[in-house]
Amino acid sequence: MSTTINKEEIQKFSKLAEEWWDVNGKFKPLHMFNPIRIQYITENIKSHFKIKNDKANYLKGLNILDIGCGGGLISEPLARLGANVTGIDASEKNIKVAKLHSKKDGLQINYLNASPENLDSVEKFDVILNLEIVEHVNNISLYIKSCNKLLKKNGLMFTATLNRSFTSYIKAIIGAEYILRWLPIGTHDWNKFLKPEELEGYLSQEKFSTLDVKGLKFNPFSNKWKKSDDLSVNYIISSLKN
């Protein structure tokens, strides 16, 4: 059976599993990255589903699937906003960490050790998140096809990844891994990065239409991430299942 699981990639992240919730540990860059990702996702969800109120649980009633959820860094904030969240990850260790942390925080999140092509879900989802995951999987076509099967018609999908550009090689590989040591050396394989037009090609093959593409850029002066029109390194695509 075809699979999207890359065993070497799973092993790599399983070794770091205990550090998911250490804000100063190996996943510090993701903790810094999280606010802008959540802001972008929630703004687009509110706009698409015409959610007008800003009550504490304004995502109530929405079923969200977080693929490659890791330790639950995105699953937890969305569950706090009222969404019914299912988080899946091919690493059993990651799921154990995520379950433990959400239980400690009293959150009801359905965490499963699975990949999208083998997720046996009766109910389809309103929203699917693929955040910093497509550059770590095998068989992108199968991956996007599997997402399509799990998403409701007119459902939203968010895909965030890294552009395969000269700038991303300098910043994400040389800068983040070798110079700043933000990430362990070998975290990323630049050859597996996808150009936005390549990713949009895979999405359109599976009948997804692109709603929005935004760059996510780090500002070293404010030490924060912000939305940008610069897609040369990190970018996120919001797409609709037709």
Mean pLDDT, to the nearest integer, of 4-19?
80
User: Taking 90 as the threshold, does the pLDDT of residue 152 lie above it?
Assistant: yes
Does 81 score more than 90 pLDDT? yes
Question: 3-state class of 150 per DSSP?
Answer: helix
Pairing of strands 110-113, 84-89: parallel
Helices and strands (H, E) in the chain, number of each type: 7, 8
Please report the sign of the dihedral spanned by the C-alpha atoms of residue 105, residue 128, residue 4, residue 22.
negative
Q: Is pLDDT above 70 for 1?
A: no
Q: Is the pLDDT of residue 226 over 70?
A: yes
Torsion sign (Cα): 126, 64, 115, 111: negative
- The pLDDT tens digits for 158-188 are 999 999 999 999 988 887 777 777 777 778 8
Q: What is the mean pLDDT of residues 183-197?
A: 88
- Using CA atoms, how far apart are residues 42 and 50, in angstroms rounded to an integer? 11
What backbone torsions phi and psi does residue 104 show, to the nearest 5 degrees?
A: -60, -35
Kindly report, residue by residue over 88-146, the tens digit of the pLDDT.
999 999 999 999 999 999 999 999 999 999 998 778 999 999 999 999 999 999 999 99
What domains appear along the chain, each with residue ranges and CATH number? Answer: 7-241 (3.40.50.150)
Q: Could you give the strand order of the β-sheet that contains 224-228, starting from the edge strand earlier in sequence?
A: 110-113, 84-89, 63-67, 125-131, 151-162, 234-241, 208-219, 224-228
Contact 177, 187 (CB under 8 A): yes
Q: Which of 65, 69, 66, 74 minimizes the C-alpha distance to 37?
A: 74
Residue pLDDT, tens place only, 51-60: 987 778 999 9
Question: Which residues, other chains included, contact 219 with Cβ-Cβ below 8 Å and sequence gap of 6+?
Answer: 225, 226
Please count the other Cβ atoms lying within 10 Å of the Cβ belonging to residue 238.
21
Q: What average pLDDT does range 9-38 have in this prediction?
A: 87
Produce one character per residue of 120-155: b if its CB has 16 or more CB atoms within 10 Å, e if not: ebeeebbbbbbbbbbbbbbebebbbbbbbebbeeeb
Q: Which residue has the tokens 């939305």?
A: 227
Q: Is the pLDDT of residue 209 over 80?
A: yes
> Residue 80: what pLDDT?
97
Query: Is the confidence at residue 17, as pLDDT, over 80?
Result: no
